[in-house]
Amino acid sequence: MTKSLTLKQALFVKAYLGEARRNGVKAARFAGYRGNEATLRAIASENLTKPNIAAEVSRRVSKILEPDEVLTELCMIAEAQITERIKTTEKLKALELVRRHHKLFEPQLKITVEQMDRQIDEACRKHGLPLPESRQLPKPKND
């Protein structure tokens, strides 16, 4: 059984998964740890390797959102007006992620050689043209 978190550790986990956006140094600072950048980096690294903190981070991450919930949230951000709470960069990132999910504005040309050969054969037959030399079957040899 994992031991419970101290108040500072709980604040670290909350910040790490929240406003620090998985930045350990920022999470340590938000949780109230003191020190320069190097000290906070060491504290964050140590915290993230402690079994009880790592377990809590994993537990919370597994509960965050299902894929369709993520898409819904991204769509809400993408459709929102830019305000103090929704920054331009956040809106653009959400739009980019939604675009990728729906595979928008990507080349749709995915064709195999066999599919291309079939299309050439069909077009030649449709228009009464001979097959290209590379597509014609070799004539059997008469011995």
Q: How far is CA 98 from the centre of its chain?
A: 10
Structure tokens at 27: 């999470």
Sequential pLDDT tens for the chain (143 residues): 457 999 999 999 999 988 888 899 999 999 999 999 999 999 999 999 999 999 999 888 777 656 666 677 777 777 777 776 667 777 777 777 777 776 766 665 667 778 777 887 888 788 787 776 665 565 666 65
Domains annotated for the chain, with CATH where assigned, are: 7-62 (1.10.10.1400), 67-101 (no CATH)
Quickly list H helices, the chain.
Answer: 7-17, 24-31, 37-49, 51-62, 67-79, 88-101, 113-126
- Round to whole Å and give the CA distance between 24 and 16: 6
**Tell me, what DSSP letter sits at residue 136?**
S
In the prediction, which pLDDT does 134 show?
62
**61: nearest Cα among 21, 3, 29:** 21
* pLDDT given for residue 135 in this prediction: 58
d(CA 18, CA 65): 14
Q: Are 43 and 35 in contact (CB under 8 A)?
A: yes
